[in-house]
């Protein structure tokens, strides 16, 4: 999101007076230095390419950050994917506004990961919202919105990539309108609000007795690329490949049973609660030392 907001701001012909990366507060200085040296992110490359000033603070709510914003005389603060809840005195710092970029059609899908949640709930569209910030997460008045279709069988990875690209386009449009006072903020409709919190470890475990084949299919895709999901068999854990899933109209054995295997394709098929089964090719055993044993373990599964 950050790299696209940088590009969008530059597309609008605006000056970027400072960039504050969340990694600055998420990682210890030594770890961030290693990441930046060995595997620099796209946003860091852009910062260096355009010789942008990087703000180095411990928190966006710190006195140090507030002094920086005042010194830089910022007109707008653009926020995308930030883990801190900003205080009112920080939100009110810029001359024009503090604007958050949220990857959903607010007020729907408020919360930390709309990419995951929209796919998990099998929506056929998501969205992108630029809105004014206030002291509550994702609740400020809307400046601009765009619906983004969810392509069948895509994962959160692809949805995010398409969404952040749209953020670049919308960012340029919103900044130009703010400059000339052409934006009329629209209050969010609280009656249409939905909120989903952070996922838990239990959400990663696939439960074929509680979910349909379509729901299992969606859960595996929703969690990629952030976290794997797991199929449990005895004392082992299989990690499905989100790009190699197929729903079969077959009914064999009991719900939750592995009903078919193919060790050559690292494939297992599990019966779901709706009388359908989900075939998962390219699975791998969890654990560095277990992974090479995947084919052998699948071959020895007794149906």
Write the secondary structure of 79-134 as one string of H (helix), E (strand) and C (coil): EECCCCCCCHHHHCCCCCEEEEEECCCCCCCECCCHHHHHHHCCCCEEEEEEEECC
Please, what is the average pLDDT of the chain?
95
Show the tokens assigned to 17.
């007076």
- Pairing label, strands 236-239, 267-271: unpaired
| Whether residue 169 has pLDDT greater than 90 | yes
Instruction: Say whether both 273 and 183 belong to one domain.
Output: no
Tell me the CA end-to-end span of the chain in Å, nearest whole number.
46
Q: What is the pLDDT of residue 182?
A: 85
**Domain span including residue 84:** 2-192
Mean pLDDT of the region 67-77: 96
- The residue out of 139, 167, 192 marking a domain boundary is 192
Q: Which of 10-14, 138-142, 251-255, 272-276 has the lowest mean pLDDT?
A: 251-255
Instruction: Say whether both 187 and 273 belong to one domain.
Output: no
Mean pLDDT of the region 93-114: 96
Mean pLDDT of the region 102-127: 97
Q: By the 8 A CB rule, do 175 and 8 touch?
A: yes
Specify the 3-state DSSP secondary structure of 102.
strand
| Whether residue 302 has pLDDT greater than 90 | no
Mean pLDDT of the region 163-168: 97
Q: What is the CATH number of the domain that holds 146?
A: 3.40.50.170
- What's the number of domains the chain is made of? 2
Instruction: Say whether both 181 and 231 belong to one domain.
Output: no
CB atoms within 10 A of CB 301: 14
Instruction: Say whether both 96 and 220 belong to one domain.
Output: no
Phi (first) and psi of residue 133, to 5 degrees: -90, 145
Phi (first) and psi of residue 225, to 5 degrees: -105, 5
* pLDDT confidence band for 44 (50 / 70 / 90): very high
Q: What is the CATH number of the domain that holds 243?
A: 3.10.25.10
Q: What is the pLDDT of residue 181?
A: 84
Q: What is the pLDDT of residue 179?
A: 86
Q: Output Rg (C-alpha) for the chain, integer angstroms.
A: 23
Q: What is the pLDDT of residue 15?
A: 96
Instruction: Say whether both 236 and 159 belong to one domain.
Output: no
Q: What is the pLDDT of residue 151?
A: 97
| Whether residue 67 has pLDDT greater than 90 | yes
Specify the 3-state DSSP secondary structure of 161.
helix
Residue 289, classified by CB atoms within 10 Å of its CB into exposed (0-12), middle (13-18) or buried (19+), is exposed
* pLDDT confidence band for 225 (50 / 70 / 90): very high
Which residue blocks in 180-261 are alpha helix, DSSP H? 213-223
Q: What is the DSSP letter of 191?
A: G
């Amino acid at each position: 999101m950050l790299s696209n907001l940088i590009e969008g701001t530059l597309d609008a012909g605006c000056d970027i007076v400072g960039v504050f990366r969340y990694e600055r507060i998420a990682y210890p200085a030594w770890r961030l230095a290693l990441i930046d040296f060995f595997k620099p992110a796209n946003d860091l490359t852009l910062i260096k390419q355009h010789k942008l000033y990087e703000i180095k603070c411990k928190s966006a709510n710190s006195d140090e950050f507030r002094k920086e914003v005042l010194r830089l005389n910022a007109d707008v603060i653009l926020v995308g994917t930030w883990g801190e809840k900003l205080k009112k005195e920080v939100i009110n710092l810029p001359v024009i506004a503090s604007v958050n970029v949220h990857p959903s059609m607010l007020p729907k899908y408020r919360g930390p990961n709309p990419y995951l949640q929209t796919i998990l709930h099998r929506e056929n569209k998501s969205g992108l919202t630029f809105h004014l910030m206030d002291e509550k997460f994702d609740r400020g008045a809307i400046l601009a919105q765009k619906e983004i279709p969810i392509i069948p069988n895509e994962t959160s990875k692809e949805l995010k990539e398409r969404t952040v690209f749209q953020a670049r386009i919308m960012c340029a449009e919103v900044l130009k309108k703010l400059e000339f006072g052409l934006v009329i903020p629209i209050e969010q409709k609280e009656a249409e609000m939905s909120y989903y919190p952070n996922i838990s470890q239990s959400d990663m475990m696939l439960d074929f007795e509680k979910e349909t084949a379509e729901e299992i299919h969606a859960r595996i895709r929703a969690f990629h690329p952030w976290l794997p999901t797991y199929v449990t068999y005895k004392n082992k854990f299989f990690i499905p490949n989100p790009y190699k899933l197929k729903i079969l109209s077959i009914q064999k054995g009991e719900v939750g049973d592995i009903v078919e295997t193919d060790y050559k394709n690292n494939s297992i098929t599990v019966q779901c609660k709706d009388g359908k089964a989900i075939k998962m090719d390219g699975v791998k055993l969890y654990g560095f030392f277990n992974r090479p044993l995947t084919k052998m373990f699948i071959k020895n599964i007794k149906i």
